[in-house]
Amino acid sequence: MVEIPETGRQALDADVMREWAARGIDTLTRHRRGVDELNVFPVADSDTATNMLATLQAAFQGATPGLGLEALLDEAAGRALLSARGNSGVILAQMLRGLADAWNGDEIDAKGFAGGLRTATDAATAAVAVPTAGTILTVAEAAASAAAKAAPFGFVSAARAAAEAAAEAVAATPGQLPALARAGVVDAGGLALTLLLEALVETLTGSVSTGALDLLERHRVRAVSEVEEVPRESGSEAFGYEVQYLLESNAPAAAELRHRLTDLGDSVVIIGSRAAADVTTFNVHVHVNDIGAAIEAGIERGRVHRISVTRFDDTAPPRPARADRPATPRTVLVATAAARVREFLDRDGATTTGPDRVREALAAVRAAGGRSTVVLADGPDAARAAREGAQGARGDGYRVTVIPTGSVVQSLAALAVHDPERHFDDDVAAMAEAAAACRTGELRAEAEGVAVVVGEADFGVFDTAREAVRDLADRLCAGGAELLTVLPGAGSDTETVTALSDHVREAWPLVEVQQLPAGDDEPLLLIGAE
């Protein structure tokens, strides 16, 4: 290992933090593929470094300029929470939350650095329902302990000790986790964390530590054909889906959810937006077979949104329907308060209901001989009513899953990918992913003019609806949209819709626009971007 000089910057402030983050992003970008190839636990899905990189980019790229260290980290932790991907990304986001909670000044010394690593490690470990030895958590523990011992000798010494201890802990992971030993690799998440700690040492001293890279090269020399195919550990072989979503709730409800999800699957990680008692946003991650049950467990405890469902074995052929039951059509029930949309869908042959009639609608569907139903609920009231109705409809093998979509255009996106020939869980996964991928934008009438809203973010107020709709279209199309689905509100006018269509045709010629019947009184205009 290269000898690292003790000289260097002996404190961490906002500028050093930004430089460390940028160097860490660059390091993971360069070595992402190699680290991903090592990924076999908790599932062999080859995305550990990719998820950690995406989380780190979301946290720091585009950060508000001029913030001090405390504000910078608080913003980064909040952004990471909302964007964290996969098991490793969620754990990294919680570590950032721990650093933000511990580093409360504009400059951190060696003791503060060590304390921050300890808080970050403890926070990440507490977020995992069943911590496992030989993973990123083990590596973080070793780094935090080493930093505390070296802190009296200065910041550089503490950072170097953390990086070296992390590399040693990574090298030891095959002896702690059988999946790693069988595959002849080290833990991918722990190695990625070590790369980030070594990026800090380089930021402080200008010298490159190569412990992590040595490990990476050592474990990449085996040809792919020589590596044994590794089954998933800790029961994961039995679970085919990764489910993630954001939950608006409180800490006691999140604790209840952790227990419920542990009963349903494994790899349960739940992180919160801040350490205080007023936590309102959680990022929930679990591996399960029953997608609907995992989602509904969240609905029972708060507002669920940004649902993501990933099937681990994407290359496997679709699972056939069970041979012991007749092939009957699966019903997709759209629960929405938008009466005009219901009328349009009913004419198109879909099954719809208002939020206050979900129980009756489910009973009617079941009485007609169906064996399963997916309910698309476009708001908190509809989701609550759908969940209550689903509980009453289940029994004797009848399956009901509720997908909360957030808006009626997201329900329409989910409905568009429904395939009754798919296995029930695969169909639920496809619809949940389609709903999550559909971004929404609105025009809202306000006293000062017309407001532009994308997702939950406000982007200013315009004097006229035509100005506002052009701005909204640009924001949605810039994100890679191929189709805009437009629902004019009852208070909208044809000139606004025409202005939208004309602008998209001229500025975004590859984007298609489809208009559906008028929606509710508010918003003035609702757009879904797919």
Percent helix, strand and coil across the chain, each to the nearest 5:
50, 20, 30
Banded pLDDT at 117 (limits 50, 70, 90) = very high
pLDDT higher than 90, residue 492: no
Choice among 50-64, 389-403, 420-434, 499-513 with the minimum mean pLDDT: 389-403
Residue reference for tokens 């935090």: 144
- pLDDT for res 521: 62
- pLDDT for res 45: 43
Q: Is residue 463 part of a domain?
A: yes
- pLDDT for res 322: 44
Report the C-alpha gap between 267 and 261 in whole angstroms.
9
Q: Does 85 lie in the same domain as 154?
A: yes
- pLDDT for res 274: 58
Banded pLDDT at 14 (limits 50, 70, 90) = very high
- pLDDT for res 368: 80
Q: In what order do the strands lie in the sheet with 525-529?
A: 457-462, 449-454, 439-446, 525-529, 483-488, 512-515
Measured CA distances, 308 to 41, 86, 110, 283 (Å): 20, 10, 39, 11
Distance spanning both ends of the chain, measured CA to CA: 49
Q: Which of 173-182, 400-409, 444-453 has the highest mean pLDDT?
A: 444-453
Measured CA distances, 98 to 31, 54, 176, 269 (Å): 26, 19, 26, 15
- pLDDT for res 219: 56
Q: Does 137 lie in the same domain as 63?
A: yes
- pLDDT for res 6: 62
Task: Evaluate whether 49 touches 145 at the Cβ level (below 8 Å).
Answer: no
Q: Does 326 lie in the same domain as 214?
A: no
Question: What token pair was written down for 477?
Answer: 């199309």
Task: Evaluate whether 122 touches 98 at the Cβ level (below 8 Å).
Answer: yes
Banded pLDDT at 432 (limits 50, 70, 90) = confident
Position 200, amino acid: L
Mean pLDDT over residues 478-504, rounded?
Answer: 85
Q: Does 472 lie in the same domain as 332?
A: no
Query: Average per-residue pLDDT in the chain?
Result: 80
Determine the length of the chain. 530
Q: Does 414 lie in the same domain as 297?
A: no
- pLDDT for res 351: 87
Domain boundary among 295, 316, 337: 316
Q: Does 411 lie in the same domain as 390?
A: yes
Domain around 341: 321-435
Q: Does 222 lie in the same domain as 117?
A: yes
Choice among 320-324, 341-345, 363-367, 526-530 with the minimum mean pLDDT: 320-324
Domain boundary among 384, 408, 435: 435
pLDDT higher than 90, residue 307: no
Looking at the chain, the whole-number percentage of residues with pLDDT higher than 90 is: 16
Residue 338 exposure: Cα atoms within 13 Å on the Cβ side? 30
- pLDDT for res 150: 93
Q: Does 191 lie in the same domain as 108?
A: yes
Question: What token pair was written down for 9?
Answer: 């910057």
pLDDT higher than 90, residue 359: no
Q: Is residue 5 part of a domain?
A: no
Q: Does 423 lie in the same domain as 407?
A: yes
Question: What token pair was written down for 279?
Answer: 């936590």
Of residues 167 and 46, more confidently modeled: 167
pLDDT higher than 80, residue 93: yes
Q: Residue 298 sits in a domain of what CATH number?
A: 3.30.70.1340
Q: Residue 73 sits in a domain of what CATH number?
A: 1.25.40.340
Task: Give CA torsion, residues 20, 23, 24, 30, to 10 deg.
Answer: 180
Of residues 209 and 91, more confidently modeled: 91
pLDDT digits (tens, 9 = 90+) for 210-223: 666 666 666 553 43
pLDDT digits (tens, 9 = 90+) for 230-259: 333 333 567 888 888 888 888 888 889 999
Of residues 299 and 244, more confidently modeled: 244
Position 259, amino acid: H
Q: Does 54 lie in the same domain as 127?
A: yes
Q: Does 500 lie in the same domain as 422?
A: no
Residue reference for tokens 């002996």: 10
Number of domains comprising the chain: 4
Q: Is residue 448 part of a domain?
A: yes
pLDDT higher than 60, residue 39: no
Q: Is residue 51 part of a domain?
A: yes
Report the C-alpha gap between 406 and 378 in whole angstroms.
5
- pLDDT for res 213: 66
Domain boundary among 291, 316, 341: 316
- pLDDT for res 15: 94
Instruction: State the burial class of residue 75 (Cβ atoms within 10 Å of its Cβ: 0-12, 13-18, 19+).
Output: middle
Banded pLDDT at 114 (limits 50, 70, 90) = very high
Mean pLDDT over residues 83-90, rounded?
Answer: 84
- pLDDT for res 116: 92
pLDDT higher than 60, residue 193: yes
Q: Is residue 25 part of a domain?
A: yes
Report the C-alpha gap between 3 and 416 in whole angstroms.
59
- pLDDT for res 367: 81
Mean pLDDT over residues 427-435, rounded?
Answer: 83
> What's 330's DSSP letter?
P
pLDDT higher than 60, residue 324: no
Banded pLDDT at 226 (limits 50, 70, 90) = very low
Q: Is residue 286 part of a domain?
A: yes
Q: Does 251 lie in the same domain as 342?
A: no
Q: Is residue 7 part of a domain?
A: no
Q: Is residue 4 part of a domain?
A: no
Report the C-alpha gap between 496 and 523 in whole angstroms.
13
Banded pLDDT at 103 (limits 50, 70, 90) = very high
Question: What token pair was written down for 101?
Answer: 């909670």
Task: Evaluate whether 235 touches 260 at the Cβ level (below 8 Å).
Answer: no
pLDDT higher than 50, residue 347: yes
Looking at the chain, the whole-number percentage of residues with pLDDT higher than 70 is: 83
The total of other beta-carbon atoms located within 10 Å of residue 368's CB is: 11
Report the C-alpha gap between 452 and 439 in whole angstroms.
14
pLDDT higher than 80, residue 41: no
Task: Evaluate whether 178 touches 132 at the Cβ level (below 8 Å).
Answer: no
Mean pLDDT over residues 150-165, rounded?
Answer: 92
Q: Residue 343 sits in a domain of what CATH number?
A: 3.40.50.10170
Of residues 397 and 64, more confidently modeled: 64
> What's 174's DSSP letter?
G
Nearest Cα to Cα of residue 182 among 225, 223, 227, 217: 227
Report the C-alpha gap between 499 and 505 in whole angstroms.
10
Residue 319 three-state SS: coil
- pLDDT for res 235: 34
Banded pLDDT at 488 (limits 50, 70, 90) = confident
